């Protein structure tokens, strides 16, 4: 199969969808790999490394001409003209971005396979987990940075100073983002409160992270109470493929202490905080009701070396499967098929269709795939 690896165009997005080692494996399996010039530079991989792995170094248009195109983030408007009847394998987060992207994918009959909705045999999200871990760790790092007085914060240091803990971190969500954020905050010595919907996880988190960690069931009154005393709030709410629910209202934010910080990791799915809006690495924060909001939609792009290695370790086996079998690989693997968001002019992920108000375009994958 002809495989294209394109350079990311999102603001300061330095990750890349394949490493030179991954390209070499694909070439050894008989595939033709075209790499856009400069695609790997942000992650430390020069064009020469890809060429030595057997890839052709090509222009943007030539890389997009592949039958399978591998990316990291969703196509931006400048990339829409390159989309066609091909397999696109990347993070899409369609319910959290402009409907224009979904409409273009349907018009071009692109088979768009989203990393974030692919499932394993246990129903987990193996391609979302690596970047969720990075984002969870990073959320506490960035939150601590913006709590500093020179950066607009209240001047609260998250940590243990001579045996006394300072700073309260409230984590909303007990998935991968939440667990990593809680671990990072507890490791710094802060007081940690986690909201979730799985009471059986309380003892697990206390055993793995800290016996002092508090676990509370997620409900509005409890969240509102904890936010009033919070220094840092991390939003890590996820509904597979769907727009994130707004579990933090504007009135809750208004009641927080001035100089506090919110890091809304859920922003790539629309955000779980009512006052959130997407920001960029170039302009990462804004202030609403005296509270600093960090809402960068591609957080792991700030640490491309780690993120690229962690991501491609998870994605490469599925890239190999798609390259070998194309649409048939999707038909043969129900978990991989769950990653299909659009195919043959239809939306194949019901949560995406509902989130965008495009239910009329929804067809189950098995039915839609018959049109390919």
Domain-terminating residue out of 265, 297, 329: 297
Distance of CA 118 to the CA centre of its chain: 13
Residues 149 and 34 in one domain: no
Domains of the chain: total: 2
Residues 275 and 150 in one domain: yes
Whether residue 119 is found in the same domain as residue 48: yes
Give the Cα separation of 207 and 339 in Å (integer): 33
Residue 167: both structure tokens together: 């700073």
- What residues make up the domain containing 147? 129-297
Among the candidates 297, 315, 332, a domain finishes at: 297
User: Which among 26, 71, 30, 17 is positioned nearest to 53, based on CA atoms?
Assistant: 26
Would you state the structure tokens that stand for residue 109, as one six-digit string? 């009959």
Rg (CA), the chain: 21
Three-point CA angle 158, 246, 310, nearest 5°: 60
Alpha helices in 84-128 (DSSP H): 99-107
HSE-up of residue 261 (Cα within 13 Å, Cβ side): 30
Residue at a domain's end among 297, 322, 349: 297
Q: Same structural domain for residues 334 and 223?
A: no
Q: Looking at the structure, tell me whether residues 172 and 228 fall in a common domain.
A: yes
DSSP conformation class of 233: E
Based on the domain organization, do 118 and 39 belong to the same domain? yes
350: number of Cβ within 10 Å: 14
- pTM more than 0.85: yes
Contact indicator for 72, 94 with CB cutoff of 8 Å: no
Same domain, 234 and 274: yes
Residues 275 and 348 in one domain: no
Per-residue pLDDT in tens (0 to 9) along the chain, 372 residues: 999 999 999 999 999 999 999 999 999 999 999 999 999 999 999 999 999 999 999 999 999 999 999 999 999 999 999 999 999 999 999 998 889 999 999 999 999 999 999 999 999 999 999 999 999 999 999 999 999 999 999 999 999 888 888 999 999 999 999 999 999 999 999 999 999 999 999 999 999 999 999 999 999 999 999 999 999 999 999 998 899 999 999 999 999 999 999 999 999 999 999 999 999 999 999 999 999 999 999 999 999 999 999 999 999 999 999 999 999 999 999 999 999 999 999 999 999 999 999 999 999 998 888 887
Predicted pLDDT of residue 356? 95
**Whether residue 56 sits in one domain with residue 22:** yes
Q: How many angstroms separate the CA atoms of 294 and 291, rounded? A: 10
CATH label of the domain that carries residue 352: 3.40.50.720
Q: How many residues does the chain have?
A: 372
Q: Whole-angstrom Cα distance, residue 344 to residue 329?
A: 16
Separation of alpha carbons 152 and 159, rounded Å: 19
> Active-site positions?
93, 268
Bridge partner residues of 34 (DSSP): 4, 56
Q: How far apart are CA 312 and CA 140, in angstroms?
A: 24
- Rounded distance, CA 98 to CA 356, Å? 9
Q: CA 289, CA 237: separation in Å to the nearest integer?
A: 22
Give the tokens for residue 179. 């667990």
pLDDT (0 to 100) of residue 334: 96
DSSP 56: E
- Regarding whether 274 and 163 lie in a shared domain, the answer is yes
Same domain, 314 and 293: no
Q: Is 163 exposed, middle or buried (CB count within 10 Å of its CB: 0-12, 13-18, 19+)?
A: exposed
H/E stretch holding 224 reads helix 220-228
**Is the same domain home to 166 and 134?**
yes
* Sequence-distant (≥ 6) Cβ neighbours of residue 275 within 8 angstroms: 248, 250, 253, 262, 288, 289, 291, 293
């Amino acid at each position: 199969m002809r495989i294209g690896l394109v350079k990311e165009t999102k603001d300061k997005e330095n990750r890349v969808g394949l490493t030179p080692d991954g390209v070499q494996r694909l070439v050894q399996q008989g595939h033709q790999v075209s790499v856009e010039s400069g695609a790997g530079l942000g992650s430390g991989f020069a064009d020469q490394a890809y060429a030595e792995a057997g890839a052709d170094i090509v222009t943007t248009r030539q890389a997009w001409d592949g039958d399978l195109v591998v990316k990291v983030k969703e196509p931006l408007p400048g990339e829409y003209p390159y989309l066609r009847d091909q397999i696109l394998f990347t993070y899409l987060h369609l319910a959290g971005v402009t409907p224009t992207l979904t409409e273009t994918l349907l018009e071009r009959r692109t088979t768009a396979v989203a990393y974030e909705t692919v499932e394993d045999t246990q129903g987990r999200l193996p391609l979302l987990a690596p970047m969720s871990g990075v984002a969870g760790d990073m959320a506490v790092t960035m939150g601590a940075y913006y709590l500093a007085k020179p950066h607009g914060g209240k001047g609260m240091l998250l940590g243990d100073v001579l045996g006394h803990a300072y700073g309260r971190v409230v984590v909303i969500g007990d998935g991968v983002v939440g667990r990593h954020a809680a671990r990072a905050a507890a490791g710094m010595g802060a007081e940690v409160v986690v909201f979730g919907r799985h009471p059986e996880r309380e003892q697990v988190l206390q055993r793995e992270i800290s016996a002092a960690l508090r676990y509370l069931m997620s409900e509005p009154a409890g969240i509102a109470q904890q936010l009033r005393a919070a220094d840092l709030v991390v939003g890590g709410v996820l509904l597979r493929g769907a727009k994130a629910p707004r579990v933090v209202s504007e009135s809750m934010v208004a009641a927080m202490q001035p100089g506090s910080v919110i890091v809304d990791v859920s922003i790539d799915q629309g955000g779980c905080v009512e006052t959130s809006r997407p920001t960029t690495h170039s302009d990462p924060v804004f202030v609403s009701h005296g509270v600093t909001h960090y809402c960068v939609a591609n957080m792991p792009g700030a640490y491309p070396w780690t993120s690229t290695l962690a991501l491609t370790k998870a994605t490469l086996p599925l890239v190999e499967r798609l390259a070998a079998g194309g649409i048939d690989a999707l038909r043969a693997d129900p978990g991989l098929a769950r990653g299909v968001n659009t195919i043959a002019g239809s939306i194949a992920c019901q949560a995406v269709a509902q989130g965008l108000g495009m239910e009329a375009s929804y067809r189950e994958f098995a039915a839609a795939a018959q049109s390919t």
